[in-house]
Amino acid sequence: MMKVVLLAGGLGTRLSEETEMKPKPMVEIGGKPILWHIMKHYAHHGFNEFVVALGYKGESIKKYFMEYHSLTGNMTVDLGNGQVSSWEKEEAWRIHLVDTGQQTLTGGRVRRLKPLLKDGTFMVTYGDGVSNVDLGSLLRFHREHGRAATLTSVRPPARFGGLQLDGQRVVKFKEKPQIGEGWINGGFLIFEPQIFKYLESDSDSLEANALERLADDGQLMAYPHDGFWQCMDTLRDRRALEAHWQDGKAPWKVWP
C-alpha cells in the first residue's frame, strides 16, 4: 500500500496563540485536529497508511492516536472483568509515528524516513493545509508524466478584498477572491524513491533544496488544482477554517 507522509514537526511560530502548548497539526477545526482532517481526505481516496514525521511536541500527537480508540465513539465497559468493547468500527488507518528531530527541516524529515519509504512511490503533504484536491487524479498525473516528483500547484486565496475605483469613488468591492497571485506549492506531493538522492542532511529544506534541484533536472511536475486550498498559518486562517466547518460548508470535507 502506498504510504502518505505527514510533515508534523514544525514549530508553528506564526500561530503561537495555539501552538505554545501543542504542535500546529493538533490545532482543532470542528473539534478535531487539522491533522485528522487531512488524514480523512487521504483515506477517502483509498490511502490509509500514514507516516507522521514528528518533531515539536510530538508526544501530543502520539498520545492522541494511542488514545484514539478509547476516546472516539461509543463503548461498553464491564467493570466486573475490566473488558472494554467499542460499538463502532474505528478508522482503518495504519499510522507510523516517527520522531524526526526537534530542529530538522522538511527535507531532513523526509530523509530520516527513508527506511519506510525506499521501496516505492509515496505521498507527502504538510500537516497544516487542507484541500479538496482529487488525489486519484493527482496520482494518475504523476504516473503519466514519469518524473521523480509531482507537487500540487494552487493559487492562494487573497488576504484582502479588492477595490475598483473611479477617482476617489468606489465602483466595485471584491471580497477576497481566489485571484491570480501566481501558482505556489500547495503540498500534496508525490515522490519516487530517487528523491533521496536530493536529500543529504537534517538541514535540507524539501522546498529550497530538493524541489529546486529536481526542477533544475527536469524531474518535477506541477499538478494544477483550481479548487479549494487553505493553509493554517495564522489565527485568522484557523478562524476562517472553523467558520467553514460550523457553516456546514467545509470545501475540504470530501468524505461522507
Residues of the chain with pLDDT under 70: 88-89, 157-181
pLDDT at 36 (0 to 100): 97
Widest CA span of the chain, in angstroms?
80
Q: What is the pTM of this model?
A: 0.88
pLDDT at 94 (0 to 100): 96
Q: What are phi and psi of 247, to 5 degrees?
A: -80, -5
Chain segment 128-159, per-residue pLDDT in tens: 999 999 999 999 999 999 999 999 999 876 66
pLDDT at 170 (0 to 100): 42
The residue length of the chain stands at 256
**How are beta strands 49-54 and 94-99 bridged, if at all?**
parallel
- Exposure b/e, 215-241, CB count within 10 A at least 16 = b: eeeebbbbbebeebbbbbeeeebbeeb
CA distance 240 to 230: 9
pLDDT at 68 (0 to 100): 86
pLDDT at 64 (0 to 100): 94
Q: Which of 237, 233, 139, 144 is CA-nearest to residue 188?
A: 139
Domains of the chain, earliest start first: 3-153+182-246 (3.90.550.10)
pLDDT at 122 (0 to 100): 98
- DSSP SS3 for 15: helix
Chain segment 23-34, per-residue pLDDT in tens: 999 999 999 999
pLDDT at 229 (0 to 100): 95
50: exposed, middle or buried (Cβ count in 10 Å: 0-12, 13-18, 19+): buried
